[in-house]
Structure 1
Amino acid sequence: MHTRYILLLQEDMAVGGIHTATQTLANALRCAGQIPVALALRNTHIGALLRAVWRADIIVATNGFLPSYAAWLLGMLLRRPVVAWLHGPTQEVLEHAHASAAKRAWLRWLYRRLRWVVFVSAHTRDSFLEFTGGAAAGQRLEVIPNAHPDWQPAPMGASPQYLGFVGRLAPEKQPELLVQMLRLLPTTYRLCMVGDGPSQPALCAAGADLQQVGRLELRPFHLVQASVYAPWQVTVLASLYEGCPMAALESLAAGRPCVGLPIPALREMLGPDMPYALAHDCSAAALARAVQTVCAMPPEQLAHDMAQVLRRYSPERFSHNWQRVLQEAAC
């Protein structure tokens, strides 16, 4: 692959799963001898943006909304190839946001004009196709799952029955369901939640008594390292929907199993090798039962099964597939 200037268009610099995945892509491209440059649309003057697009050989829109709008328009004006990168299931995201008919029509029109679209999971692709009514003529759709971080798993010396959560405290992540789950578990179980967001006040109110007795701990979001996951025994997710959740991959890479609701993205990720880590339904009671199942399993089996999952999300495969797509898109 020839050295190319690759512009990664972001909406803003907010930390989270998309930001982490974008950094991973930038690092992979840099290691492959490419020149990735990330620009946040909300923090970049129009003149600087146009100069960056003019220099670029290819534009990658790092999510399916504002960056994709801008990338498509700039690509048309300055004749640059564009790859849109979709991280979430379109149908579910728009339904949860109560998107208007006008916005849905605009997105349908735009998405069918994107020549290249990369999805983080097969479910994300399927949701896109359901929304658009099928792929447009000549459209290239590729599934490239996110890569797990290259961490050394911590020894299984975590505090027993100590659970953790990392993510945005927002309605789609259902953090209050985790508080309900904690109430259904024996009093020896504790939960540490790392994150910020609009659901934080309601979460504090719902779990005030649990905080007082030391069963619930709320920490602000910060740069995520393996050491964040190391203290607890299991990571728990309660999202309504996901694309390819980085929190799950980070947890497994840190040597900590992840339990979640049986949403399509987690069935795709955990189902083949860790089906026991999925709750039987989307209730707090089912999530609590899955947590107890995983906590009681032999560490050797968990380590084996987590390694099997991580093999399908390797940084090498991620880098190879992205380089292939960008090379083909640039031709």
Structure 2
Amino acid sequence: MKITFFLRGLGLGGVERCAALVGEGLAERGFDVTLVTLGDATNLWQERTRRVKVVDLSQTWNGRKPWTWLAGWRATRQLAREADIVVAATFLMPLYMTWAATRGLRKRVLAWVHGPLADVDASAHMNPIHRLACQSIYRRIGEAVFVSRHARESMSKWLGEPIARGWEVIPNFVENIEPRPPRYPGNPVRLLFVGRIDVEKQPTLWLDTLSALVSRGQLARLTVLGDGPLRAHLQSQAEQRGLASLIEFMGTRHDVADFMHRADFLLLTSWFEGCPLVVLEAMKAGLPVVTTPAGGVVELFGEYAPDYVAEAATGAALADRILTQVPRHPALAGQLRLRAYDYDKNVLLDRWAALLGSPVTIPARHTLGQEQNR
């Protein structure tokens, strides 16, 4: 069976990493997998995509160059024609090209939804034309794979429709990570943030958390792995608040596991999350997590969520959770490692394989290959 994923590129983003992991895993199970990059020729996952075919169309088609549209459509159309299943790996460009390439072919089409789109739209204020276009296409796709129940519920809210029968939840997974040695936090406690420094991550909460800990007599230091448009602003704010010596900005790094082994807590301050890969990494490493109640992340902890999720998205609440975790630190680390078995690569790839290999009858009004009135 041939599976073709349309995505923007194979850079450092979470979607790209998921596409590489799932694509390679399905190829190991005998699927013929093609990853099609539409907007970026970069492939930073070559070592982990040896079994899949990567097709770069970014030099053939460019959304800002209308004279390339026909050639781009023909290329994606041919790839769709050769596939048994076509997966729109994310919204906007890959979703549009999946829709355009499969019209009239009566192919099985899936949407892969990584984030809570109602929350994303509320944060980013999507262009109204893109909003209407994406919503229209999602309503016409009979099957979708969501990385969390929260992402699925958010789609239902965003579309103003009940959850459809063909909407499945298959969480993300990450590679295995060597467990960190169990130990109690030192003084100062070492906090770690991994991700993009942007509005949806609410980075001012880092400063609020540090201030709250210091005010309660607990020294703390924060290491930030990642970059983004708010980095300079955060550095300026840290200087003004006298916290600059407590924060170390390391930029984008590939040795995240090494930093996790040295940290005491992973700090997640997001406004919303689908199924954050960095939390899955921390769970496998046995690194206790302190997080805001950011949608899909809460699901990762199951019944143990109160141990890791702050009661509110405030520095005081996050500091409370850190201080509560300190005396239970080794036990919580072990608890997370056990919980990580629920997100085992082989278990989740088996679910993907079962979904892709099972026959599905899609209602006519949701078939991309036909024009249907709703």
Which residue in the other structure is 1:221 paired with?
Answer: 252
Kindly provide the amino acid, as one letter, of the partner of residue 154 in structure 1.
R
Stretch moving more, 159-168 or 270-279 = 270-279
Which residue in the other structure is 2:47 paired with?
Answer: none
Pair 1:99–1:298, CA change in 2 (3 A): closer
Number of aligned positions between the proteins? 326
Please give the alpha-carbon distance, in whole angstroms, between the structure 2 residues aligned to 1:178 and 1:136.
35
Stretch moving more, 220-229 or 261-270 = 220-229
Correspondences of 1:173-212 after superposition (within 5 Å): 173-186=201-214, 188-208=219-239
**SS of aligned partner of 1:13:** coil
Following TM superposition, by how much is the alpha carbon of 1:112 offset from its aligned partner in structure 2, in angstroms? 0.9
Following TM superposition, by how much is the alpha carbon of 1:199 offset from its aligned partner in structure 2, in angstroms? 1.3
**SS of aligned partner of 2:115:** coil
**SS of aligned partner of 1:227:** helix
Does residue 1:150 correspond to 2:190, yes or no?
Answer: no
Is there any run of 5+ residues in structure 2 with no aligned partner, and where? 41-56, 61-71, 362-374
Pair 1:108–1:247, CA change in 2 (3 A): same
CA RMSD of aligned residues (A): 2.4
8 Å CA contact 1:210–1:216 kept in 2: the answer is no
Which residue in the other structure is 2:262 paired with?
Answer: 231
Please give the alpha-carbon distance, in whole angstroms, between the structure 2 residues aligned to 1:250 and 1:164.
12
Is there any run of 5+ residues in structure 1 with no aligned partner, and where? none
**SS of aligned partner of 2:197:** coil
**SS of aligned partner of 1:316:** helix
Kindly provide the amino acid, as one letter, of the partner of residue 7 in structure 1.
T
Pair 1:248–1:314, CA change in 2 (3 A): same
Q: Deviations over 1:265-309 (max 9, x none)?
A: 22222251242211111111101111122233140x213320342
- Greater CA radius of gyration, 1 or 2? 2
Correspondences of 1:12-161 after superposition (within 5 Å): 12-43=9-40, 44=57, 45=60, 46=72, 48-135=75-162, 140-157=166-183, 160=186, 161=189
Please give the alpha-carbon distance, in whole angstroms, between the structure 1 residues aligned to 2:183 and 2:90.
38
8 Å CA contact 2:184–2:326 kept in 1: the answer is no
Correspondences of 1:269-284 after superposition (within 5 Å): 269-284=300-315
**TM-score of the superposition, structure 1-length normalised?**
0.90
Following TM superposition, by how much is the alpha carbon of 1:63 offset from its aligned partner in structure 2, in angstroms? 1.1
**SS of aligned partner of 1:219:** strand
Pair 1:67–1:329, CA change in 2 (3 A): farther
Following TM superposition, by how much is the alpha carbon of 1:100 offset from its aligned partner in structure 2, in angstroms? 4.5
**TM-score of the superposition, structure 2-length normalised?**
0.80
Kindly provide the amino acid, as one letter, of the partner of residue 140 in structure 1.
G
8 Å CA contact 1:159–1:231 kept in 2: the answer is no
Pair 1:213–1:111, CA change in 2 (3 A): closer
8 Å CA contact 1:158–1:230 kept in 2: the answer is no
Please give the alpha-carbon distance, in whole angstroms, between the structure 2 residues aligned to 1:288 and 1:117.
38
Stretch moving more, 43-52 or 24-33 = 43-52
Percent identity between matched residues is 29
Please give the alpha-carbon distance, in whole angstroms, between the structure 2 residues aligned to 1:88 and 1:157.
34
Q: Deviations over 1:33-88 (max 9, x none)?
A: 22222222113222654443333222111113321221122122544321110011
8 Å CA contact 2:182–2:333 kept in 1: the answer is no
Please give the alpha-carbon distance, in whole angstroms, between the structure 2 residues aligned to 1:218 and 1:329.
49
Q: Deviations over 1:212-260 (max 9, x none)?
A: 8642100111325422311101100000000011111111112211110
Which residue in the other structure is 2:357 paired with?
Answer: 327
8 Å CA contact 2:76–2:101 kept in 1: the answer is no
Please give the alpha-carbon distance, in whole angstroms, between the structure 2 residues aligned to 1:121 and 1:265.
6
**SS of aligned partner of 1:223:** coil
8 Å CA contact 2:184–2:327 kept in 1: the answer is no
* Selected match of 2:3 from 3, 6, 9: 6
Following TM superposition, by how much is the alpha carbon of 1:330 offset from its aligned partner in structure 2, in angstroms? 7.4
